[in-house]
Amino acid sequence: MDQLREFLETVKQTAAAKGNLRGLLHILIGRRITRPDGTVVSTGLSWREAANLFKLTRWEPDTVSELGLEAEALPPRDRQRYWYAAIAQSGVDTPAARTAGDKLAGALKKHGYVIGPGPK
């Protein structure tokens, strides 16, 4: 989990996923993330694990607007439920999410992460 937190912090600091939250969710949930040396960072997360990761890294809640969602419509008090609801409504299994994930995977390669192909 520490490597995943480090991965998400890198994404946040470099703004690689700015405007591409759907692609980031697609990568976290459905793809294998490794380092160039083969070290496995993640083999995919459940929605609950991804929601918890966003909560732990204090990801900006207003970024859900990139998904076409309104922050006020999501559970306000519990951040894990907030992110879980956002993921459930994000369309993470759509062809658009796969395309966004492919685009983000290319950008993350410059930062030392190898992202596997998306599920078919």
Do the domain assignments include residue 39?
yes
Number of domains in the chain: 1
pTM: 0.91
Q: Which residues constitute the domain of residue 39?
A: 2-115
| Cα–Cα nearest to 17, from 106, 112, 80, 117 | 106
The answer to the question of residue 97 being in a domain is yes
Distances (CA, A) of 111 to 6, 34, 89: 12, 12, 29
Give the model confidence (pLDDT) of 30-75 as tens digits: 999 999 998 999 999 999 999 999 999 899 999 999 999 998 999 8
Tell me whether residue 30 is in a domain: yes
